[in-house]
Structure 1
Amino acid sequence: MDNELASSSPFSSVPIEITISVGKARPLIRDLLSLENDAILPLDRKIEDPVELYIGDRLIARGELHELQEGSGGQLAVRLTEVVELKEGF
């Protein structure tokens, strides 16, 4: 969908939630039940691995985590490195 068509759509101003997946953990139930504050839960990815962006259960892009400029209070952002073709719709 080109930018002109997207901006003329009646849905172009409707917000949509994107979920960013940084990894998965697979603890045993006994370990999960014993979690407390400050516990560390290892994930299946490294810090430099790409994160995945989803709308619902549909993968729409991959990217790298970044911290926004100073003054943003440590807010995270994602720099997109790969965008999935969305012409078929969601």
Structure 2
Amino acid sequence: AMPQGVAYQDPLTLQLLNQMQQSQTQMLELIRDIQGGKNKEAKSSEPSLIKPLNSREFENEGGGAGENPDNREMLMKVPLEISVEIGRTRKLVKDILDFTQGSLVVLDKMAGEQADLYVNGECIARGDIVVVEENFGIRITEILKKDINQESL
């Protein structure tokens, strides 16, 4: 709930406030779950054994994924989300709620400018929008993240 008497107009402030409230709610639920678990453990007749983790136990436990070809092959099969962004803009919540069919949203890029290619939310390339059969596509013209290659995995 918003503090009384305070009006937040900035969308970013509203978003951050909502995220903080969600985090607080999640933390309170977690604390309740933990406390509920402690009550259950206290009723249990068997004591639990807890010992500190010795980091030396893991020193000789295999290296990185790149050392084993099977691991590399397995990594190469992991699906990643790819998205293409043609532009951005900011709107007030009020304006978004007023959207109707046919509403026009003007973006920050000019027609013909290159689109950004994102992999898992990170922009790694730019390119031109193309049409392939009945689908949109992107022809990559510039790689922004040069350090993304098989050796870096």
1:27 equivalent to 2:91? Answer: yes
Equivalent in the alignment of 1:82: 142
* TM-score normalised by structure 1 residue count: 0.74
Q: Any stretches of 5+ residues in structure 2 without a counterpart?
A: 1-68
Flag the structure with more relative contact order, 1 or 2, with Cα contacts below 8 A and sequence separation at least 6.
Answer: 1
Residue 46 of structure 1, CA deviation:
1.3
The within-5 A match list for 1:10-49 is 10-49=74-113
State percent identity of aligned pairs.
26
Letter in 2 for 1:44: D
CA RMSD after TM alignment? 2.2
Q: Any stretches of 5+ residues in structure 1 without a counterpart?
A: none
- Provide the rounded CA distance (Å) in 2 between the counterparts of 1:89 and 1:29: 42
* TM-score normalised by structure 2 residue count: 0.46
Query: Which structure: larger Rg?
Result: 2
The runs of at least 4 consecutive aligned structure 1 residues that moved more than 6 Å come to none
- Go from structure 1 to structure 2 and tell me whether the alpha carbon gap of 1:26 and 1:89 turns closer, same or farther (over 3 Å shift): farther
Could you list the per-position Cα deviations for residues 3-59 of structure 1 after superposition, in whole angstroms to 9, with x for gaps in the alignment? xx8xx6322233211111111111222221100011111000112111111122322
